[in-house]
Amino acid sequence: MQDNISTFSILIVDDKPLNIDILRKYLDDDHYLISATTSGEKALRLLDKVKIDLILLDVMMPDMDGYQTCLAIKKNINTRHIPVIFVTAKIAPEDLRQCFAVGAVDLITKPAHQDIVRARVKNQIVQIKQIKLEKKLLESNKLAELGSMVAEITHEVASPLGNLRLSIDYLVEKNNSIIRAFEEQKLSKNMLSEYLIKTEKALQMSSSNINLASNVMLSFKQVAVDQCSNNLLRFNLLHYMNDILLTLRPKLKKHTHEVNLDIDERIELNSYPGVLSQVIINLVNNTLLHAFEDNQTGKIDISAQLNGHRIAIIYRDNGIGMDKNSKENAFKKYFTTKAGQGGSGLGLAICKELVVDILEGELSLESTLGAGVCFTIALDIDIADKEPRPVRQAGR
């Protein structure tokens, strides 16, 4: 993360070099890394090559004006996160509305004053630093969860592999015994029959343990790879939910809760499976931590309702539910009713952020004290066909 503001880069876009020189001079004392171009077209080409944190953009430029340039920046998935401050002499109400309508986060009027330019820029830099800190926190949370899952999966796989080792040792011992009996001409029909029956059972047990270990590892690999890559992929929702639950098997085995899936096996999504897995895992963790008293057997139901090009993934538990205060603050960062008991106050806040900002959907919550919770994740089945929404910007 960038801690010193001098490491932040600013792009100034203005068709008049004199205006660029003035803004450069105003920002000299803050030691930003400053680039400049004299047209919107050049700015867009530069953004493909150089990392920029903030853009100061003139409105009135020939060929491609500031509005068109800002729209192009916001439509590009690689640049739409960059905050844009318009620097303009156009201050009529309709001009101001247009600036913010195309995605600007702030506006500086010409002729610009140094103290105003520095203050507006610094405000956006502070906002950018906060967003980067939150992203780092989100990444740390994800890596911590993956680390915990690695330890649990290792323990889960050790059991079937240990059983497989015992089965193989047993088969080797019995096989050697049969060979000795045959060589000494002491092999009877009953001995051979008993050997074949026990060998079949040992092989069945070996096959079962191999399948269990293999399925757990394959599911974990799929979920872990997707979480780390966050690629847009087409996937079967039911199969992927099964992979997630199999990955969570070590954690769920510590409890007696029942988990049920009610999802049509024909439903396919074109979205970010790794992000969806983070959301579901956080919801399950939230249930395990908050929903049930010690030794209580609970129920988790995950279903899906398809409606045209939209899908609602519904997550329910029949736990203790939430009171009014907990429900109203559930998605706020650092709010938790389990402080010091494993609750960080980040799980549901991260779920909301992932669903809204990356999956471009909605996450809603219904709960009554004593009657469990119900989370509804509303998504497009094909996120590639959806017009990108403006991402959360600094200062917005």
pLDDT digits (tens, 9 = 90+) for 245-282: 888 887 888 888 999 999 999 999 999 888 898 899 88
- Residue 393 near residue 280 (C-beta atoms within 8 A): no
pLDDT at 346: 65
Pair of tokens at residue 358 = 């990356």
pLDDT at 340: 45
Reported as type and span, the H/E element at residue 78 is: none
Per-residue pLDDT, averaged over 78-106, amounts to: 89
Catalogue all structural domains in the chain, each as residue range(s) with its CATH number: 8-112 (3.40.50.2300), 145-385 (3.30.565.10)
Global pTM value = 0.53
**Cα-atom radius of gyration of the chain, to the nearest Å?**
29
pLDDT at 40: 94
pLDDT at 12: 95
Pair of tokens at residue 208 = 């079962």
Check whether the bond before 111 is cis (ω within 30° of 0): yes
Burial class (CB in 10 A: 0-12, 13-18, 19+), 229: exposed
pLDDT digits (tens, 9 = 90+) for 52-81: 999 999 999 998 999 999 999 998 888 988
pLDDT digits (tens, 9 = 90+) for 196-254: 988 888 888 888 778 777 777 776 766 666 666 667 889 999 999 998 888 888 788 88
pLDDT band at 386 (very low <50, low <70, confident <90, very high): low
Burial class (CB in 10 A: 0-12, 13-18, 19+), 300: buried
SS3 state of residue 9: strand
- Residue 380 near residue 91 (C-beta atoms within 8 A): no
Reduced DSSP (H G I as helix, E B as strand, rest coil) percent helix, strand, coil of the chain, to 5: 55, 15, 30
Per-residue pLDDT, averaged over 148-176, amounts to: 78
Q: Distance between CA atoms of 198 and 180, rounded to whole angstroms?
A: 17
**Out of 104-108, 145-149, 193-197, least confident range:** 145-149
Q: Distance between CA atoms of 139 and 144, rounded to whole angstroms?
A: 8
Q: Distance between CA atoms of 27 and 150, rounded to whole angstroms?
A: 48
Burial class (CB in 10 A: 0-12, 13-18, 19+), 9: middle
pLDDT digits (tens, 9 = 90+) for 326-357: 888 888 876 665 544 444 556 688 888 889 88
Three-class secondary structure assignment of 10-65: EEEECCCHHHHHHHHHHHHHHCCEEEEECCHHHHHHHHCCCCCCEEEEECCCCCCC
pLDDT band at 191 (very low <50, low <70, confident <90, very high): confident
Mean residue pLDDT across the chain: 83
Burial track 19-39 (b if 16+ CB lie within 10 A, e otherwise): bbebbeebbeebebebbbbbb
